[in-house]
Amino acid sequence: RKEVEQDPGPFNVPEGATVAFNCTYSNSASQSFFWYRQDCRKEPKLLMSVYSSGNEDGRFTAQLNRASQYISLLIRDSKLSDSATYLCVVNIKPGGGADGLTFGKGTHLIIQP
Binding site for another protein (CB under 8 A): 4, 32, 34, 36, 42-46, 49, 87, 89, 91, 95-99, 101-106
Spatial distance between the Cα atoms of 3 and 76, rounded to a whole number of angstroms: 28
- Count the neighbouring beta carbons within 10 Å of the beta carbon of residue 43: 7
Task: Please say which residue, 61 or 85, places its beta carbon nearer to another protein.
Answer: 85
Q: How far is the CB of 22 from another protein (least distance, A)?
A: 16
Task: Please say which residue, 8 or 16, places its beta carbon nearer to another protein.
Answer: 8
Task: Please say which residue, 74 or 101, places its beta carbon nearer to another protein.
Answer: 101
Task: Please say which residue, 28 or 99, places its beta carbon nearer to another protein.
Answer: 99
Question: Under 8 Å CB-to-CB from 93, ≥6 apart: which residues?
Answer: 31, 99, 100
Q: How far is the CB of 39 from another protein (least distance, A)?
A: 11
Q: How far is the CB of 16 from another protein (least distance, A)?
A: 30
Q: How far is the CB of 36 from another protein (least distance, A)?
A: 8
Three-state SS at 108: strand
Spatial distance between the Cα atoms of 53 and 60, rounded to a whole number of angstroms: 15
Task: Name the nearest CA neighbour of 89 among 98, 81, 80.
Answer: 98
